[in-house]
Structure 1
């Protein structure tokens, strides 16, 4: 046995429940990215259900440090769905818009300080909120309905403003959804992405992530290229290949 340790580049998906659930049957946008990048990158789910920017700002340095930052090919920051809850009904998760933007800026500054370049960072705005559908879910759990679609739009605008100010890419999911008459079908409960919504988000992320990863080689040769009489010669050499 032998050969150098193979280290896969990583695409980090950092966010709340919409990120945490992104390998599921409905919220499958992370799974779609993983399929897009197979044999080139590991897609790493770092979603935390219920978290807001105030909390994610605290945990980010426990997830990304200089030791692992150099291996990041893309960093996707997807927050705001919890921050934009109504303050009077959900003070625990609500974060005022001004602080929300400041928190994102602080996270971007931190990423830069450990070596994650701006060209590798994508901010995804919160999606639209279907208040009626989410109210049905809240009634089931005996909770107040705390969503406001107009507020979600304000926080989405905040993402766009911060991205422009800091020189990173923004996927304005809210605006893109609201241009569609069927946008409510993109949510499975009024808050989280349905399969249709996940496919829609992936369609927006795909070209951006492809741009960041197109020059990355495939890991290990395709099976047809392996020398069956001496597989070690094929498999213990350079792990990086132009195609599979």
Structure 2
């Protein structure tokens, strides 16, 4: 059997990842699919409402095992959690900070540990911090529900979870995208000004995704230049490079039919 055509860039996270292709938002998933077209398949594995506790068993099932043959290689893995873990009690989405750290490390270890069934030393791992929360807008939105709900997140608590993601990435020697700081600085360090980047106080709008995408691409270019889209050749050649007299020499991977 021939080798798989495209390797994979997988996005794993909560609703902010799930919405990466939402129409009208110019989301980062949509843009990644465009720039990695014919180079890597970008997979959306975002699960609305999930925290790392619920994400762990799903994550394991999303990964191929090292023993699996003829499966696409996971070239880039972006993990983006924390927005729901940082909920405050009594929210069922709340995950204590120490447990959140443990869960993220376990996800990373599934890829990095030689004893893992999913060990993939060539996978480039990126951890992404949760964005800041606009408690003014979030609180107003929850208060308008039927029945009204109390504010479920706090600004400084979300900041602590974002800093924890940064620390994990540093300890593990993997790339980190600091969405929290990028959006906070874009808003002039003014919580109410975050409305320009967070449509409902929590989820990114088109402006927010634009900031996030730019940070992600800068990080890939700096930390993992070998998998930046400009440095990956297309799986199949541009049409002008095809051997027109003997196209099979150009168009069968591994020259299976040459």
Q: Same fold by TM (over 0.5)? A: yes
Distance of 1:230 and 1:140 partners within structure 2:
66
RMSD: 2.3
Task: Name the residue aligned to 1:242.
Answer: none
Specify every segment of 5 or more residues in structure 2 that has no aligned partner in the other structure, as ranges: none
Distance of 1:139 and 1:71 partners within structure 2:
46
User: Is 2:14 the counterpart of 1:16?
Assistant: yes
SS in 2 for 1:43: strand
SS in 1 for 2:199: coil
Give yes or no for contact 2:111–2:123 (8 Å, CA) kept in 1: no
Task: Name the residue aligned to 2:145.
Answer: 141
Q: Structure 1 pair 29/190, CA: closer, same or farther in 2 (3 Å)?
A: same
Distance of 2:123 and 2:176 partners within structure 1:
11
Task: Name the residue aligned to 2:77.
Answer: 75
Spell out, residue by residue over 1:154-175, the C-alpha distance to the aligned partner (whole angstroms, 9 max, x if none): 0001101111122211111112
Spell out, residue by residue over 1:172-193, the C-alpha distance to the aligned partner (whole angstroms, 9 max, x if none): 1112221222543111111111
Distance of 1:95 and 1:202 partners within structure 2:
27
Task: Name the residue aligned to 2:54.
Answer: 55
Distance of 1:140 and 1:225 partners within structure 2:
59
- TM-score w.r.t. length of structure 2: 0.83
- Point out the more displaced range, 115-124 or 75-84: 115-124
User: Is 2:224 the counterpart of 1:213?
Assistant: no
Specify every segment of 5 or more residues in structure 1 that has no aligned partner in the other structure, as ranges: 240-244
Matched ranges for 1:72-221 at <5 A:
72-88=74-90, 90=91, 92-112=92-112, 113=116, 114-117=118-121, 120-142=124-146, 143-180=149-186, 181=188, 182-210=193-221, 211-214=225-228, 215-221=231-237
Q: CA deviation at 1:209?
A: 3.1
Distance of 1:237 and 1:100 partners within structure 2:
42
Give yes or no for contact 1:153–1:175 (8 Å, CA) kept in 2: no
Q: CA deviation at 1:16?
A: 0.2
Give yes or no for contact 2:77–2:123 (8 Å, CA) kept in 1: no
Q: Structure 1 pair 27/158, CA: closer, same or farther in 2 (3 Å)?
A: farther
Number of aligned pairs? 235
SS in 2 for 1:221: coil
Task: Name the residue aligned to 2:29.
Answer: 30
